[in-house]
Structure 1
Amino acid sequence: MLQRIQTIYLLCAAGVSAGLIYVFELWVTEDRVKVFAADVNYVFAAFLTSAFFALVAIFRYKNRKSQFMLGRLNIILNFILLGFFVYQSLNLSGETAVSEKGIGMLLPIVSIVFLALANKAIKKDEDLVKSVDRLR
């Protein structure tokens, strides 16, 4: 059942994690060089892993518990990525050289919101199925 609302949320999370990393820069160095997620290998791998988890969760619609678990793992991965960005932004010096933080550092937050909405919808479906099973 790919026509459920959590499919839209998971597609949006995958689009944010895989597509918008090429559009928004993470930070700008003191030499005015824009750093994107594709320039830092482990950040790029984390974003692509997040997108992969979201896409795999879409096609796990027959096993809602597995789909819910993949959503939680993806949320944890995005929190780790967000924690790295917070650490990195606190270490970018702003005293001697002007450095700018980019909007790309907020992409994990957007992805977490979509994943939380998807997990809420998955939980709602699971509760609905359990309530129908009780009536039988």
Structure 2
Amino acid sequence: MIQRIQTLYLFLAAVISAGLIFVFHLWTDNEGVKIYALNDYLYLGMFLGSALLSLISIFRFNNRKSQFVLGRLNIILNFILLGIFVYQSLNLSGEINVSEKGIGILLPIFSIVCLVLANKAIKKDEDLVKSVDRLR
């Protein structure tokens, strides 16, 4: 059902992954140029892949097990993206001159929180359906 709370969490994760990458920059380089996810196809692809997984998971409401698995895959994808960001931020040159990281590096964390809450609600629904099936 579309009106469940996990749909809201999954939609929020999709908005974070697909919409906010155009608003917030990831970091600023030595010349003062702000680097967005649009500048690197790897980051763009991973963010858009995460948003696509969230949207697919919303419309898989009939099959809660596959919805749960897609949520787990999306969490793993966001952890990989976060790991790449941490690695990249630790290897930025000119750390003495410029030490400005953007809020865009934190977007996978916000997305992970939304996805964990969605998976928790999906698991709760699945347990509820199993308990009702036992009573029949």
**TM-score band, normalised by shorter chain:** over 0.9
Looking at structure 2, the residues matched to 30 and 100 of structure 1 have their Cα atoms a distance apart, in angstroms, of 10
Q: CA deviation at 1:98?
A: 1.6
The residue type equivalent to 2:115 in the other structure is L
Conserved 8 A contact 1:18-1:51: yes
Q: CA RMSD in A?
A: 0.7
TM-score by length of 1: 0.98
Indicate the residue corresponding to 1:73 in structure 2.
Answer: 73
TM-score scaled by length of structure 2: 0.98
Alignment coverage as a number of residue pairs: 135
Match of 2:119 in 1: 119
Q: Unaligned regions of 5+ residues in structure 1, if any?
A: none
Secondary structure, in 3 states, of the residue corresponding to 2:49? helix
Q: Does 1:135 align with 2:130?
A: no
SS in 1 for 2:60: coil
1:26-71, Cα deviation, whole Å (9 max, x unpaired): 0001101000001111000000000000000000000000000000
Using the alignment, how far apart are the partners of 1:98 and 1:59 within structure 2? Answer: 44
Q: How does 1:44-123 map to 2 (within 5 A)?
A: 44-93=44-93, 94-95=95-96, 97-123=97-123
CA contact (8 A) 1:24 1:103 kept: yes
Question: 2:98, 2:59 → 1: CA distance?
Answer: 45
Post-superposition CA distance 1:5-39 (Å, at most 9, x none)? 00000000000000000000000011010000011
Unaligned runs of 5+ in 2: none
1:44 maps to a residue whose letter is L
